[in-house]
Structure 1
Amino acid sequence: MRNQPKYNFFKNTSYALNGLKDLLKTETSFKIELVVTALLLPVIVLIDAILVYKILMFITLMGMLIAESINSAIERVVDLVTLEHNEMAGRAKDIGSSIVFLSIALFVVTWLTILAELV
């Protein structure tokens, strides 16, 4: 049996907000990507593009933040298991980094393609 409390919307929301607070306190990459997101959200609203393009732009922008969150979670779990150098731990962290890299590549390609279409 899993050691999991009964579902409670408000408690689960507080857990999520605690995670976001922790990311903001401790993760420089997340902070940088959050600033990029804050700067580019108005672009999505202001550009003259069809709704599908705006949704794609929003999804890829949020995807960066999601990927960075996943990477941070992977790094913390690996560090919980071992702080010593371990090949498998390093590979897990590298894969987490590749998630971020791929999300940023998807963001850049999507935005450049859409913006080129609009010009």
Structure 2
Amino acid sequence: METQLHPAIIITLAFFAITFIQSGYDKINDWKGNLGWLKGHFANTIIKNAVPQSLALILVLEILAGAFSVIGIIKLLMGEGTAFAEIAGIASAITLLFLLLGQRLAKDYDGARTIVIYFIPAILLLTWV
């Protein structure tokens, strides 16, 4: 099988691997600090009593998106297709949609706008694979 390089896909996967693995690491490394801040951030929302569960869900989604991104890069470099890159794109988009929902619920519109900056490469990735 001939190896075909997909630089835009590989670079975008690296972007999501860095973004989500670092974010997941931060959540694990400073769980209490993140949880304390998020409880205040979501104090006046419908998820105010489910912040720990929401944080755990986001952590799992970020780890999956980051891991699939790394696997996608490896598979592309080995000439084994774009299936994992597509899974990574879907996982990244879903993760970002959950984050966007949270920012909108908290009425943090600047934060929601920031999520869109990350969402654009996810959609581009899905159009390339």
The structure having more radius of gyration, on CA atoms, is: 1
Task: Give the TM-score taking structure 1 as reference length.
Answer: 0.47
Task: Give the TM-score taking structure 2 as reference length.
Answer: 0.44
